[in-house]
Structure 1
Amino acid sequence: MIVWTIANQKGGVGKTTTTVTLGGLLAQKKKRVLLVDTDPHASLSYYFGVDSEELSSSVYDVFVASKHLTKDRVLDCLCSTKLDSLFILPATMALATLDRRMGNQNGMGLILKKAMDLIADEFDYVLMDCPPVLGVLMVNALAACRRIIVPVQTEFLALKGLDRMMHTLEIMAKSQQREFDYLIVPTMYDKRVNAAVDAYQTLREHYGDKVWSGVIPVDTRFREASQAQTPPSVFSPRARGVYAYDKLLKHIQSLDKKS
Structure 2
Amino acid sequence: MARIISIVNQKGGTGKSACTANLAVGLAQKNMKVLIVDADPQSDVSAGFGYRDCDESNETLTALMDTVMKDEDIPSDCYIRHQAEGIDIICSNIGLAGTEVQLVNAMSREYVLKQILYGIKDQYDAIIIDCMPSLGMITINALAASDEVLIPVEASYLSIKGLQQLLKTIGKVRKQINPKLQVGGILFTMVDAHTNDARNNMELLRNVYGGQIHIFDNYIPFSVRMKEAVREGQSIFSYDPKGKATEAYRRVTEEVLKDAI
Q: Scaled by the length of structure 2, what TM-score is found? A: 0.92
Aligned match of 2:199: 197
Structure 2, unaligned stretches of length 5 or more? none
Report the CA distance shift for 1:179/1:120 in structure 2 as closer, same or farther (over 3 A): closer
Query: What amino acid does structure 1 have at the position aligned with 2:259?
Result: L
Aligned residue for 1:37, secondary structure, equals strand
Number of residue pairs aligned between Structure 1 and Structure 2: 254
* Structure 2 counterpart SS, 1:5: strand
The aligned counterpart of 2:239 is: 235
**In structure 2, the residue corresponding to 1:215 is in which secondary structure?**
coil
- The answer for the alignment partner of 1:102 in structure 2 is 103
Shift of 1:123: 1.8
2:226 aligned partner = 222
2:73 pairs with 1:69: yes
Q: Say whether the 8 Å CA contact 1:62–1:69 is kept in structure 2.
A: no
- Alignment pair present for 1:23 and 2:24: yes
Indicate the larger mover: 162-171 or 128-137: 162-171
Give 1:1-259 correspondences, 5 Å limit.
1-50=2-51, 51-66=53-68, 67-70=71-74, 73-83=75-85, 85-176=86-177, 178-182=179-183, 183-208=185-210, 209-256=213-260, 259=261
- The structural deviation recorded for 1:179 is 5.0
Identity value in percent:
28
Residue type at the aligned position of 1:117: Y
Structure-1 separation of matches of 2:58 and 2:157:
42
* Matching residue's letter, 2:145: A
Give the deviation of 1:166 after TM superposition.
1.0
> Structure 2: how far apart are the matches of 1:101 and 1:114?
16
> Partner amino acid for 1:186?
F
AA partner of residue 233 (structure 2)? Q
The DSSP-based 3-state class of the residue aligned with 1:185 is strand
- Kept in 2: contact 1:190–1:217 (CA 8 A): yes
TM-score (normalizing by structure 1): 0.93
Runs of 4+ more than 3 Å apart: none
